[in-house]
């Protein structure tokens, strides 16, 4: 996956996501590229955010 590593806080801001579930997903290993360096989580800027509440991974309209 191409792209640079950014902090999880920046990823949350760019994708307009809620903070709590994203950090939880990172700590549980749901992201392929998320890595913890010291106290900071890093993630690839192109990592997709998949919503596991629905079968197909997307919210229904």
Q: What is the pLDDT of residue 23?
A: 96
**Count of CB atoms within 10 A of residue 33's CB?**
14
Q: What is the pLDDT of residue 59?
A: 55
User: If pLDDT is split at 50, 70 and 90, which confidence band does 44 have?
Assistant: very high
**H helices of 1-61, where?**
8-15, 19-28
- Closest by alpha carbon to 33, among 22, 46, 43? 43
Q: What is the mean pLDDT of the chain?
A: 89
Question: Given 3-state DSSP classes, what are the helix, strand and coil percentages for the chain, each rounded to the nearest 5?
Answer: 30, 20, 50
- Cα-to-chain-centroid distance, residue 24: 9
């Amino acid at each position: 996956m191409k792209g640079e590593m950014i902090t999880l806080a920046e990823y949350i801001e760019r994708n307009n996501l809620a903070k709590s579930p994203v950090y939880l997903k990172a700590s549980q290993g749901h992201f392929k590229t998320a890595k913890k360096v010291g106290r900071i989580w890093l993630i690839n800027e192109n990592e997709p955010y998949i919503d596991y509440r629905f079968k197909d991974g997307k919210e229904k309209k």
